[in-house]
Homo-oligomer: A and B are copies of this chain.
Amino acid sequence: MPELADWIAVDWGTSNLRAWVFGPDQAVIARLGSDRGMGSLAPDAFEAALLDLIAPHLGDDPVPVICCGMVGARQGWQEAAYVTVPCAPPGAGQATVVTASDKRIAPMILPGMQQGTPADVMRGEETQIAGFIAQHPDFDGVLCLPGTHTKWARISAAEVVSFRTFMTGELFALLSGKSVLRHSVQTPDWDEAAFAEAVGDALGAPQNLASRLFGLRAETLVNDMPAGAARARLSGLLIGLELAGARPYWLGQRIAVIGDPALSALYETALGHQAVPVERADGDAMTLAGLRAAYESWKGNRT
């Protein structure tokens, strides 16, 4: 018989739902997941999607379920309105409490963060930032969270001072999967030197992005550029463009990169070529640390 949960951490994004079930001794007793992301669910379908996953771990008493991510968007389960920077990443005190039909769960949703000028938003990354700050309370510097919509955030005195989002990951997905370049980059191969050169090209002349993109196709047709070089170069051009735009964030700053290890390694390499050393933290670990910090503060406030 499955162990019963003390509390449950949930990262509920657009495409995926992931849950970590914690036992009474605060060890993770189950890691669960499904593809029932926020993007595929109507508001009245969230509770069932969650219960399908976690029901075996529920007893008679209501279990706190701390959620972060797009589940709190306007089109999600219930809106968790953004908090506005500069401020600390939101904790349990700012969470939206959801009244579930099933009394075995007590869900709450952590808000995202927004910025007025320039307008910007995040949902999910604020919890990773909260996790990082919980582990590094004295960090003063900049966090880079690479992904579909990469975030750069200035952190000082345990607050997010400002942040900026770059569509780098989504551009890579669209260009490599749905543009004319898809014919040129379909390969598991990777040319590290081509990546580094492209980062430098984009940093040096970001205005040439749209012609350099087509150049990948042309190099394939005219000069038989290998797919591994084209793929690495596409990634390098986009990350280099981002670094050119994010320069005010990383120049002369202490930098930590939080994210998927393979993607974070690309940012570490690219920043390394600019002589910028970076610390690294795993994205999932920071999500979990952020949700755990929220749980602990919620529990602390109750007792």
A residues apposed to B, CB below 8 Å: 82, 114-116, 118-121, 149, 164-168, 170-171, 174-175, 178-180, 205-211, 213-215, 217-219, 221-223, 225, 238, 241-242, 244-247
Contact = CB atoms under 8 A, between A and B. Distances in A.
A209 to B, nearest CB: 6
Q: Which residue of A120, A210, A221, A238 has the most chain B CB atoms within 10 A of its CB atom?
A: A210
**Taking chain A's interface residues, is the majority helix, strand, or loop, or is none over half, making it mixed?**
helix
A170 B180 contact: yes
A247 B214 contact: no
B166 A214 contact: yes
Q: How many copies does the complex hold?
A: 2
Interface centre among A118, A180, A244 (most CB of B within 10 A): A118
A167 B119 contact: no
Given A207-B245, A218-B120, A170 B165 contact: no
Contacts of A115: 218, 222
A115 B215 CA distance: 11
B165 A179 contact: no
- Listed residue (A179, A211, A225) with the most chain B CB atoms within 10 angstroms of its CB: A211
Residue with the highest number of chain B CB atoms closer than 10 Å, among A168, A218, A241: A218
B170 A222 contact: no
B178 A214 contact: no
Contact of A222 (B121, B205, B219): B121
A246 B207 CA distance: 8
A199 to B, nearest CB: 13
